[in-house]
Amino acid sequence: MLAQQIVSGLATGSLYALTAIGIVLIFRNTRTINLAQGDFSMIGAFVALVILEHSGGSLVVATLVTIVAVTALAVVVERLIMRPIEGSDWLTLFTATLGVFYILHGVAGWIWGRDTKSFPALFSSAPLSIGGTLISQAHLFNILVAAVVGGILYLFFRFTKPGIAMRAITEDPVAAQLMGIPVRSIVLLTWAVGGVLAAISGILLAPLVYVSTQMMDGVLVKGYVGAVFGGLYSLPGAVIGSLIIGVAENLAGGYLGAQYKVTIAFVLIVLVLALKPRGLFGGKARREI
């Protein structure tokens, strides 16, 4: 029972992690708490649904088109809305993403309506048994995808020039610029990566929750809590934070009662912040916010 709860908690947590990583990536390079991250996923889920209907159910085509579409959306948001106010304080940037949130909610509702739509399940519902613990194929797949994405990001930040440039901007934007790093292009790339992550999490979530304009609202908040848990600057921290939230939620739901499932994340985050004000992996205090 306990192992069961933990495994499905890890599966939920790995979905939160995809959102949390997107939030941390964009935040640490632009100081923007991106409220629209969830809506990128939501738009992605709708796009995937449309493509699936029109391409005869090819999941590969749908995934690729969705990734391209959501990445383009993220890039447009950066260029049209965030770049003109890039020098503002973080509260203004945050409120601007709230504007994007309203716009994307409105556009999605306008095009696709307010009804929830079901997304075809990617896997059969028969669970697999691993060492006596049952795990659904979809959950296993989500964990695997999140792990692969995490691995690719690790390699990207460790070995590629754009990845190292992104880390340099996180450390010190002015010094990065002086070293000849094209900060604006890299920031644009950061948003694009955020878009790719959002697209993937949208497609993974779509079969689990019905596709609707509000499908991501809960996940978005959990993603934030996960990101803050890990200190807002640390990618491994965001992943671990999200996994903790996912497991804690499932344990609370299983042992304390369903009504505690929603609140446990916030009780945890308030406790963690009261004891460690910069999150679990926050490290030294940073001055910019």
Partner 1 sequence: MSERGWQITLTFLAFGALLALPAAIPSFYASLLAFMFTYVIAAVGVNLLTGYTGLVTVGHGGFFAIGAYTTALMAKHLGTSVVPGLVAGTVLAGIVGFGLGIICLRLGGAFLAIATLGFALAVGAVLNNWSIFEGREGIQLGKNSVAGLGIKDVGFYYVGLAVMAIVMLASWSIIRSGVGRAFVAMRDSERAAEAMGINLRLYKTVAFAISAAMTAAGGVLFAHHNRYVSTETFGDTWLSVDFLTAVVVGGQASLFGSALGAAFVVMVPYYLGELRDFAYVLNGVALIAVLVFAPDGMAGVLARLLRRVLGRTAREVAPVVDPVSVGRG
Interface ranges with partner 1 (CB under 8 A): 27, 33, 81, 84-85, 88, 90-92, 94-96, 98-107, 109-110, 114, 221, 224-225, 228, 232, 259, 262-263, 266-267, 269-270, 273-274, 277-279, 289
Indicate the residue among 158 and 286 with the shorter CB distance to partner 1.
286
Structure tokens at 255: 């042992």
CB distance 55 to 62 below 8 Å? yes
Distance of alpha carbon 40 from alpha carbon 196, whole angstroms: 9
Between 31 and 167, whose beta carbon lies closer to partner 1? 31
Determine if residue 283 is left, alpha or beta; phi over 0 gives left, psi from -120 to 50 gives alpha, anything else beta.
left
Closer of 140 and 262 to partner 1 (Cβ):
262
Nearest to 100 by CA among 84, 81, 114: 81
Residues 6+ apart with CB under 8 A from 18: 146, 149, 197, 198, 200, 201, 204, 223
Least gap, CB of 266 to partner 1 (angstroms):
4
Least distance in Å: CB of 224 to partner 1? 6
Q: Tell me which long-range contacts 85-90 makes (C-beta under 8 A, separation of at least 24).
A: 86/30, 86/187, 90/31, 90/32, 90/33, 90/289
Work out how close the CB of 128 gets to partner 1 at its nearest, in angstroms, rounded to a whole number: 35
**Strand partners of residue 128:** 135
Which tokens is 31 given? Answer: 């100081």
Q: Shortest gap between Cβ of 184 and partner 1 (angstroms)?
A: 17
CB of 10 to partner 1, least distance (A): 23
Q: Looking at beta carbons only, is 64 or 267 nearer to partner 1?
A: 267
Shorter beta-carbon distance to partner 1: residue 158 or 184? 184
Cα–Cα distance for residue pair 278/260, rounded to 1 Å: 25
Minimum distance from residue 22 beta carbon to partner 1 (Å): 15
**Residue nearer to partner 1 on the CB measure, 109 or 236:** 109
